[in-house]
Amino acid sequence: MALDRWIALAFIALCCVYGYAAFFTMDDQLPPILRRNPVWPSTFPKILTILGMVVGLVVLFTSKRKAESDAAKDGAIDLNRLGDYHIGQALALLGLMVTYALTLRPLGFVGSTIAFLVIGAVILGERRFHILIPVTAVAAGSIWYLVQEVLGIFLRPWPGIFM
Protein backbone atom coordinates (compact mmCIF):
# COMPACT_ATOMS: atom_id res chain seq x y z
CA MET A 1 0.00 0.00 0.00
CA ALA A 2 1.27 3.48 -0.85
CA LEU A 3 2.34 6.02 1.74
CA ASP A 4 -0.62 8.31 1.12
CA ARG A 5 -3.02 5.46 1.88
CA TRP A 6 -1.21 4.62 5.12
CA ILE A 7 -1.46 8.28 6.12
CA ALA A 8 -5.16 8.27 5.19
CA LEU A 9 -5.69 5.16 7.31
CA ALA A 10 -3.97 6.82 10.29
CA PHE A 11 -6.05 9.95 9.69
CA ILE A 12 -9.25 7.88 9.69
CA ALA A 13 -8.20 6.26 12.98
CA LEU A 14 -7.55 9.70 14.47
CA CYS A 15 -10.97 10.87 13.24
CA CYS A 16 -12.58 7.83 14.87
CA VAL A 17 -11.04 8.67 18.25
CA TYR A 18 -11.95 12.35 17.87
CA GLY A 19 -15.46 11.37 16.75
CA TYR A 20 -15.94 9.10 19.74
CA ALA A 21 -15.05 11.99 22.01
CA ALA A 22 -17.32 14.38 20.08
CA PHE A 23 -20.34 12.10 19.85
CA PHE A 24 -20.24 10.31 23.20
CA THR A 25 -18.24 12.16 25.85
CA MET A 26 -18.28 15.92 25.21
CA ASP A 27 -21.89 16.66 26.11
CA ASP A 28 -22.18 14.59 29.28
CA GLN A 29 -21.43 17.57 31.54
CA LEU A 30 -23.98 19.93 29.97
CA PRO A 31 -26.69 21.23 32.30
CA PRO A 32 -30.23 20.19 31.35
CA ILE A 33 -31.17 23.69 30.21
CA LEU A 34 -28.40 23.71 27.59
CA ARG A 35 -29.42 20.34 26.17
CA ARG A 36 -32.34 22.02 24.42
CA ASN A 37 -30.09 24.30 22.38
CA PRO A 38 -29.81 23.52 18.68
CA VAL A 39 -26.03 24.06 18.72
CA TRP A 40 -23.99 22.30 21.38
CA PRO A 41 -20.27 22.59 22.16
CA SER A 42 -19.78 19.32 20.27
CA THR A 43 -21.45 20.46 17.04
CA PHE A 44 -18.30 21.70 15.31
CA PRO A 45 -16.20 18.68 16.38
CA LYS A 46 -18.94 16.40 15.01
CA ILE A 47 -18.86 18.22 11.67
CA LEU A 48 -15.04 18.01 11.60
CA THR A 49 -15.19 14.29 12.35
CA ILE A 50 -17.59 13.58 9.51
CA LEU A 51 -15.66 15.71 7.02
CA GLY A 52 -12.36 14.14 8.10
CA MET A 53 -13.75 10.64 7.69
CA VAL A 54 -15.06 11.48 4.21
CA VAL A 55 -11.71 12.95 3.12
CA GLY A 56 -9.80 10.01 4.58
CA LEU A 57 -12.05 7.47 2.87
CA VAL A 58 -11.78 9.29 -0.46
CA VAL A 59 -7.99 9.21 -0.27
CA LEU A 60 -8.00 5.59 0.89
CA PHE A 61 -10.31 4.23 -1.80
CA THR A 62 -9.47 6.29 -4.88
CA SER A 63 -7.36 4.50 -7.42
CA LYS A 64 -3.97 5.77 -8.36
CA ARG A 65 -4.09 7.03 -11.93
CA LYS A 66 -0.40 7.62 -12.48
CA ALA A 67 2.21 4.94 -12.62
CA GLU A 68 4.77 4.75 -9.82
CA SER A 69 7.53 5.83 -12.20
CA ASP A 70 5.69 9.08 -12.93
CA ALA A 71 5.52 9.88 -9.22
CA ALA A 72 9.21 10.70 -9.08
CA LYS A 73 8.72 13.35 -11.76
CA ASP A 74 5.59 14.77 -10.21
CA GLY A 75 6.82 16.33 -6.96
CA ALA A 76 7.69 13.27 -4.91
CA ILE A 77 10.62 13.57 -2.52
CA ASP A 78 13.74 11.96 -3.90
CA LEU A 79 15.77 10.66 -0.97
CA ASN A 80 18.93 10.59 -3.10
CA ARG A 81 18.73 14.39 -3.47
CA LEU A 82 17.78 15.17 0.12
CA GLY A 83 20.45 17.86 0.36
CA ASP A 84 18.77 19.86 -2.42
CA TYR A 85 15.75 20.53 -0.24
CA HIS A 86 15.72 23.34 2.29
CA ILE A 87 15.89 21.13 5.36
CA GLY A 88 17.87 23.74 7.29
CA GLN A 89 15.08 26.27 6.86
CA ALA A 90 12.46 23.73 7.94
CA LEU A 91 14.43 22.77 11.05
CA ALA A 92 15.08 26.42 11.86
CA LEU A 93 11.34 27.15 11.61
CA LEU A 94 10.52 24.20 13.87
CA GLY A 95 13.04 25.44 16.41
CA LEU A 96 11.60 28.93 16.11
CA MET A 97 8.11 27.57 16.83
CA VAL A 98 9.35 25.90 20.00
CA THR A 99 11.14 29.10 21.02
CA TYR A 100 7.96 31.09 20.35
CA ALA A 101 5.97 28.82 22.64
CA LEU A 102 8.59 29.16 25.36
CA THR A 103 8.80 32.97 25.11
CA LEU A 104 5.08 33.73 25.21
CA ARG A 105 5.07 34.28 28.98
CA PRO A 106 8.39 36.11 29.44
CA LEU A 107 8.06 38.42 26.42
CA GLY A 108 4.28 38.70 26.25
CA PHE A 109 2.10 37.93 23.25
CA VAL A 110 2.80 41.02 21.18
CA GLY A 111 6.58 40.97 21.60
CA SER A 112 7.03 37.24 21.02
CA THR A 113 4.62 37.22 18.05
CA ILE A 114 6.40 40.12 16.35
CA ALA A 115 9.77 38.46 16.95
CA PHE A 116 8.45 35.11 15.67
CA LEU A 117 7.02 36.59 12.49
CA VAL A 118 10.06 38.75 11.73
CA ILE A 119 12.62 35.99 12.38
CA GLY A 120 10.50 33.45 10.49
CA ALA A 121 10.26 35.75 7.48
CA VAL A 122 14.02 36.35 7.58
CA ILE A 123 14.64 32.58 7.67
CA LEU A 124 12.43 32.22 4.59
CA GLY A 125 14.31 34.96 2.77
CA GLU A 126 12.42 38.20 3.27
CA ARG A 127 14.71 41.24 3.42
CA ARG A 128 12.36 44.24 3.11
CA PHE A 129 12.32 45.23 6.78
CA HIS A 130 10.55 48.54 6.13
CA ILE A 131 7.48 46.51 5.12
CA LEU A 132 8.00 43.45 7.31
CA ILE A 133 8.15 45.09 10.73
CA PRO A 134 5.01 47.28 10.42
CA VAL A 135 3.00 44.40 8.94
CA THR A 136 3.98 42.04 11.74
CA ALA A 137 3.28 44.71 14.37
CA VAL A 138 -0.18 45.36 12.95
CA ALA A 139 -0.89 41.62 12.68
CA ALA A 140 0.20 40.87 16.25
CA GLY A 141 -1.68 43.87 17.63
CA SER A 142 -4.83 43.00 15.71
CA ILE A 143 -4.82 39.41 16.89
CA TRP A 144 -4.22 40.52 20.47
CA TYR A 145 -7.08 43.01 20.25
CA LEU A 146 -9.48 40.42 18.83
CA VAL A 147 -8.63 37.82 21.46
CA GLN A 148 -8.47 40.21 24.42
CA GLU A 149 -11.20 42.73 23.71
CA VAL A 150 -13.62 41.03 21.33
CA LEU A 151 -13.51 37.47 22.70
CA GLY A 152 -12.79 38.55 26.26
CA ILE A 153 -9.94 36.08 26.81
CA PHE A 154 -7.06 37.49 28.84
CA LEU A 155 -3.85 37.44 26.84
CA ARG A 156 -0.83 39.16 28.37
CA PRO A 157 0.38 41.59 25.69
CA TRP A 158 3.66 42.72 27.27
CA PRO A 159 6.28 41.20 29.56
CA GLY A 160 5.38 41.00 33.24
CA ILE A 161 7.66 43.91 34.15
CA PHE A 162 5.46 46.33 32.18
CA MET A 163 2.16 45.15 33.69
Q: Are residues 8 and 65 in the same domain?
A: yes
Average pLDDT over residues 4-18: 90
Distance CA(110)–CA(155), nearest Å, equals 9
Q: Please, what is the angle between helix 43-61 and helix 3-20, to 10°? A: 160
Q: Domain for residue 79, yes or no?
A: no
* Cβ-contact 140, 117 below 8 angstroms: yes
* Cβ-contact 112, 157 below 8 angstroms: no
Question: How many residues belong to the chain?
Answer: 163
Percent of the chain with pLDDT over 70: 86
pLDDT tens digits along 77-93: 666 776 777 888 889 99
Q: Domain for residue 77, yes or no?
A: no
Q: Are residues 142 and 105 in the same domain?
A: yes
Q: Are residues 93 and 29 in the same domain?
A: no
Count of structural domains, the chain: 2
Question: What's the pTM value of the predicted model, to 2 decimals?
Answer: 0.55
The pLDDT assigned to 147 comes to 87
* Cβ-contact 129, 82 below 8 angstroms: no
Q: Domain for residue 78, yes or no?
A: no
The pLDDT assigned to 63 comes to 67
Mapping DSSP to helix (H, G, I), strand (E, B) and coil, where does residue 20 land?
helix
Query: Of 72, 97, 115, which residue sits at a domain end?
Result: 72
What are the counts of helices (DSSP H) followed by strands (DSSP E) for the chain? 5, 0
- Residue 163's pLDDT band (cuts 50, 70, 90): low
Average pLDDT over residues 100-121: 92
Q: Are residues 37 and 103 in the same domain?
A: no
Structural domain span for residue 131: 86-162
